[in-house]
């Protein structure tokens, strides 16, 4: 793995996209819109845990015809973002804290939805899609065993190798997320801002309210 320059004093916020920055899950919306039949079949299997995210999300995305990619970007551009995002990034800038977007979705959709704000992130990490074939093909630099984007691999790029205990030597980072796909990142983070599903999952796993987990 290639690590970015590791500075132990670096302060970073790692923020999920779908359901966290974007009010809706833009990836699921795109799959429902552009591959409705496969989405209707695969989504229940994902919810039932019959399929891993790595396998199921790949099936969903790779069922979308490449010629619909432009329309997907249009759909993403129309999606509402949480109010206050731009002020939040301004605040982080003033405090000298870097803002990194880490998404299990498609980078192009994330960038389209963020619009001008995309340039304010020091990094946007997500899966890429190859549009040269008849259907989209997933390309993920951070593919893990169970997810197409293993968010801890992204965190490691910035903070170095995880400690044997699961955390990192750098204690100056924050994870923000909304769901189980943020759980590994949240469990390793010294401070977490979690929407309800993630807060519940983190509490279930740690056997009670984690001291660093804050509801948002």
Q: Quick one: 51 or 182, whose CB is closer to Mg ion?
A: 182
Q: Site residues (CB under 5 A) for Mg ion?
A: 16, 18-19, 178-179
Measured between alpha carbons, how far is 17 from 81 in angstroms, rounded to an integer? 9
* Nearest distance, CB of residue 181 and Mg ion, angstroms: 6
* Nearest distance, CB of residue 169 and Mg ion, angstroms: 27
Q: Quick one: 131 or 151, whose CB is closer to Mg ion?
A: 151
Query: Which residue is closest to Mg ion by CB?
Result: 19
| CB of 173 closer than 8 Å to CB of 190 | yes
Cα 17 to Cα 6, 47, 66, 154: the distances in Å are 24, 20, 23, 14
Q: Quick one: 131 or 179, whose CB is closer to Mg ion?
A: 179
* Nearest distance, CB of residue 20 and Mg ion, angstroms: 5
Nearest to 188 by CA among 209, 213, 216: 213
* Nearest distance, CB of residue 190 and Mg ion, angstroms: 20
Most distant CA pair in the chain: distance in Å? 49
Rg (the chain; Cα; Å)? 17
Q: Quick one: 19 or 210, whose CB is closer to Mg ion?
A: 19
């Amino acid at each position: 793995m290639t690590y970015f320059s590791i500075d132990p004093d670096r302060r970073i916020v790692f923020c999920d996209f779908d359901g966290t920055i974007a009010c809706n899950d833009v990836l699921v919306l795109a799959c429902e819109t552009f591959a409705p039949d496969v989405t209707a079949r695969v989504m229940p299997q994902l919810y039932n845990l019959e399929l891993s995210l790595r396998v199921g999300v790949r099936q969903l995305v790779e069922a979308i015809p490449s010629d619909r990619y432009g329309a997907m970007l249009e759909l993403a551009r129309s999606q509402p973002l949480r109010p206050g995002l731009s002020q939040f990034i301004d605040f982080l800038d003033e405090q000298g804290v870097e803002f990194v977007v880490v998404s299990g979705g498609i980078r192009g959709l994330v960038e389209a939805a963020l619009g001008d704000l995309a340039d304010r992130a020091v990094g946007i990490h997500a899966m890429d899609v190859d549009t040269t074939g008849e259907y989209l093909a997933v390309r993920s630099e951070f593919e893990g065993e169970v997810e197409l984007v293993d968010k801890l691999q992204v965190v490691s790029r910035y903070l170095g190798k995880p400690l044997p205990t699961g955390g990192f030597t750098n204690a100056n980072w924050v994870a923000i997320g909304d769901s189980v796909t943020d759980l590994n990142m949240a469990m390793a983070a010294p401070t977490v801002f979690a929407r309800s599903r993630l807060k519940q999952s983190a509490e279930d796993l740690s056997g009670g309210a984690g001291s660093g987990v804050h509801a948002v």
